[in-house]
Every structure is written in C-alpha cells, then in structure tokens.
Amino acid sequence: MSQNEKTNWPLWEVFIQSKPGLSHKHVGNVHATDAQSAIENARDVYTRRSEGTSIWVIPANAISASSPDDEGEFFEPANDKVYRHPTFYKIPKGVKYL
C-alpha cells in the first residue's frame, strides 16, 4: 500500500430528518473527501430503507462537546429545580384542562 493512501478521508457526522416536521437526529458518521460526497455516502449508508427526507453532514472536528468529567456539576443547576415541571403543582380535584 502506498504511503499517501495511509491517511483517512475526513470524518463527517451525519444527521437525518426522518420526515418533515421532525428534528434532524444524529445517526452516525461517514468518511468522505468533501461535503457533497459525504451526503451521497450518508444516503447510501443510512437511508437505504427510506429513513430520511433530509441529510446534514458536519465535519466531525467542527463539533464541540461538553466534557463527561464534569457532567455532574455542569448539569447540577437543573437538578434541584423541580418546580420547573408541571407535576410539581397540586391541583384541586375536579379541575379540568389545566
């Protein structure tokens, strides 16, 4: 194998919208030389059974992510605010449509 083949093609993360009205959802990734071929590869790899109506591809190295190490503290502020959920509130019996 020649040395110049050693490098992988860039990695693209693939997001698919399964039907109009829904969000695009991450399904996996593909290697491709450019965005257009990444979209075509993603179609062949992830939508062989009509799973999608739209595809986004994003260079994998363009994604920034939160760190799992401080997952606890990072999401902490949301944990003690149960009053943000409707089930926190008591509603008198017989009251409807609320």
Partner 1 sequence: MEENLLLENFQKKVDAEIKVEPKDWMPEKYRKTLIRQISQHAHSEVVGMLPEANWLTRAPSLRRKMILLAKIQDEAGHGLYLYSSAETLGADRQDLIEELLDGKAKYSSIFNYPTLTWADIGSVGWLVDGAAIMNQVMLTRTSYGPYARAMVRICKEESFHQRQGFEIVATLANGTAEQKEMAQDSLNRWWWPSLMMFGPTDDLSPNSALSMKWKIKRKSNDELRQDFIDRTVQQAEAIGLTVPDKDLKWNEERGHYDFGEINWDEFFEVIKGNGPCNQERLTARQEAYKKGSWVREAAKVHAAKKAVSKAA
The residues of the shown chain that bind partner 1, judged by CB under 8 A, are 1, 5-9, 11, 28-34, 36-37, 44-45, 48-49, 65, 67-69
In the bound state with partner 1, the residue whose beta carbon lies nearer, of 69 and 80, is: 69
List, in sequence order, every beta strand (DSSP E) within the chain: 11-17, 25-31, 54-59
Least distance to partner 1, CB of residue 80, Å: 21
Least distance to partner 1, CB of residue 33, Å: 4
Residue 58 phi, psi (nearest 5): -135, 130
In the bound state with partner 1, the residue whose beta carbon lies nearer, of 71 and 91, is: 71
In the bound state with partner 1, the residue whose beta carbon lies nearer, of 33 and 61, is: 33
Give the span between the Cα atoms of 43 and 49, in whole angstroms: 10
**23 CB-contact burial (10 Å; exposed 0-12 / middle 13-18 / buried 19+):** exposed
Least distance to partner 1, CB of residue 50, Å: 13
